[in-house]
């Protein structure tokens, strides 16, 4: 795309922010479908983009948090209310369960974290790197998150 028209689009989007927002809101299903299709065609685009703009993303997030402390507090409060079992596992006794020295999915040794596939069994801990950890949950249709590791386990049992 030509620089000039790119610039023009940027200005247009800024000027008509509310209008665009409203339009997107009215055609939510359409954009959602388009987005899914596009992601299927370009599976690595988001990952590559995040990788390229890592520092920028971090800075922007920090700036956003600075202006939205109230919202962050509100979100944390809601999360705690919705996930009492996770809070319990993560706050007491998380460290009690040892972590392995590499990711059980990809073998990476960088930024290892504890993953709890089943919060009713806090002693059941899987060691995952931060990258694989974000991949363990997928959004189901109702917006509910589901653990992929737990899924794999139940599938294996059935065989």
89 binds Zn ion (CB under 5 A): no
Q: What's the rounded Cα separation, in Å, for the pair 116 and 91? A: 13
Q: Which of 92, 134 has the CB closer to Zn ion?
A: 134
Task: Please state the length of the chain.
Answer: 159
108 binds Zn ion (CB under 5 A): yes
105 binds Zn ion (CB under 5 A): yes
Three-state SS at 145:
strand
If you count DSSP H runs as helices and E runs as strands, how many of each does the chain have, helices first?
Answer: 9, 4
103 binds Zn ion (CB under 5 A): yes
First to last CA, the chain: 52
Binding mask 126-155 for Zn ion (x = CB under 5 A): ---x--x-----------------------
Q: Are 85 and 76 in contact (CB under 8 A)?
A: no
Q: Which of 72, 106 has the CB closer to Zn ion?
A: 106
Q: How far is the CB of 145 from Zn ion (least distance, A)?
A: 19
Task: List the structure tokens of 105.
Answer: 């999915």
Q: Are 47 and 39 in contact (CB under 8 A)?
A: no
112 binds Zn ion (CB under 5 A): no
Q: Which of 57, 106 has the CB closer to Zn ion?
A: 106
Q: Which of 89, 126 has the CB closer to Zn ion?
A: 126
């Amino acid at each position: 795309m030509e620089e000039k028209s790119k610039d023009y689009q940027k200005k247009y989007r800024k000027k008509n922010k509310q209008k665009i927002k409203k339009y997107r809101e009215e055609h939510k299903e359409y954009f959602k479908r388009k987005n899914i299709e596009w992601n299927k065609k370009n599976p690595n685009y988001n990952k590559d983009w995040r990788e390229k703009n890592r520092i920028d993303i971090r800075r922007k997030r920090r700036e956003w948090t600075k202006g939205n402390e109230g919202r962050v507090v509100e979100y944390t409060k809601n999360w705690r209310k919705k996930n009492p079992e996770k809070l319990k596992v993560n706050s007491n006794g998380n460290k009690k369960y040892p972590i392995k020295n590499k990711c059980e999915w990809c073998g990476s040794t960088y930024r290892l974290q504890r993953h709890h596939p089943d919060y009713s069994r806090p002693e059941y801990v899987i060691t995952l790197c931060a990258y694989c950890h974000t991949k363990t949950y997928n959004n189901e249709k109702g917006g509910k998150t589901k653990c992929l590791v737990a899924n794999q386990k139940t599938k294996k049992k059935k065989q």
